[in-house]
Amino acid sequence: MSSNAAPERGTFYPRDFAWHPPAYHPGYKSSVLRAPRRALISLENSAGDLAGPVFGHDILGPLDHDLTANAATPGESAIGERIVVHGRLLDERGRPVPGALIEVWQANAGGRYRHRKDGYLAPLDPNFGGCGRVVTDADGAYAFRTVRPGPYPWMNRPNDWRPAHIHFSLWGAGFAQRLITQMYFEGDPLIGHCPIIATIPQADAIDRLVARLDMDNTQPFDSIAWRFDIVLRGRKATFFENRPEGM
């Protein structure tokens, strides 16, 4: 199809800071005290921040990608709905980003984290640690096996619940190159009720945080597959909690 639009020639797409939610959002009670009261200051990164080593590929263990087994007693497995989450890490022009470390952490199938300060009454699973790591391949692809996390209540308003979600941390080539986001599940009715998600002003941005059911890659009698592609910048950028403009 022909188009009269001018071709894009810039190195980067323009940054859209409106994509990021406001720091102050009364519906998300924690933001009332945490939101900055003065104008933000941009700090220059040092050479060490940009080029310092982050991790070595040799530190990844053989089960780091399998959260159903990496904290389990040998011969046992985490309890819950087994799933595989997979996708690709892409730049703003759709090119793969290879060799990036992706860390994930989550609650167990009952909605409880393995953390001493998590006081939710759901039981702990002794065979589930809730953390994993993968490195993207030459095509920017990643995959890990886990259990679908449960929703849980949190102290915001009297009856607020977090939807089922998985936290993602993406590492670049230096200490300052880290992006953090959360992945939700297609069809979860709690997404529309979450005050944290409600801080995101654009429906498209919320939609790009939602993984899609992927029956073509479901493993029969084993694990349901969900696809979650991550875009670092540009118009299809994934929303990141700690850096609105992407990596």
At 154, list the tokens. Answer: 């949190």
Set 13, 15, 120, 167: catalytic member: 167
Set 165, 184, 208, 233: catalytic member: 165
- State the CATH architecture for 61-231: Sandwich (2.60)
The question of whether 162 is a catalytic residue gets the answer yes
Computed over every residue of the chain, the mean pLDDT equals 86
Residues 6-39 pLDDT 10s: 444 444 455 566 667 778 888 888 888 888 888 8
Distances in whole angstroms, Cα of residue 121 to Cα of each of 96, 113, 117: 42, 11, 12
The question of whether 184 is a catalytic residue gets the answer no
Give pLDDT, residue 26: 84
Residues 74-94 pLDDT 10s: 999 999 999 999 999 998 888
**CA-to-CA distance for 158 and 144, rounded, in angstroms?**
35
Give pLDDT, residue 247: 43
Give pLDDT, residue 9: 45
The question of whether 65 is a catalytic residue gets the answer no
Give pLDDT, residue 14: 56
Residues 158-203 pLDDT 10s: 999 999 999 999 988 776 778 899 999 999 999 999 999 999 988 9
Q: Is the pLDDT of residue 54 over 70?
A: no
At 39, list the tokens. Answer: 């104008």
The question of whether 20 is a catalytic residue gets the answer no
Tell me the domain boundaries of the chain.
61-231
The question of whether 115 is a catalytic residue gets the answer no
Give pLDDT, residue 98: 93
In which band, very low, low, confident or very high, does the pLDDT at 141 lie, cut at 50, 70 and 90? very high
CA angle in degrees (0–180, nearest 5) for 199-203-208: 95
Set 113, 178, 212, 243: catalytic member: 113
**DSSP output for 87-128:** EEEE-TTS-B-TT-EEEEEE--TTS--SSTT---SSPP-TT-
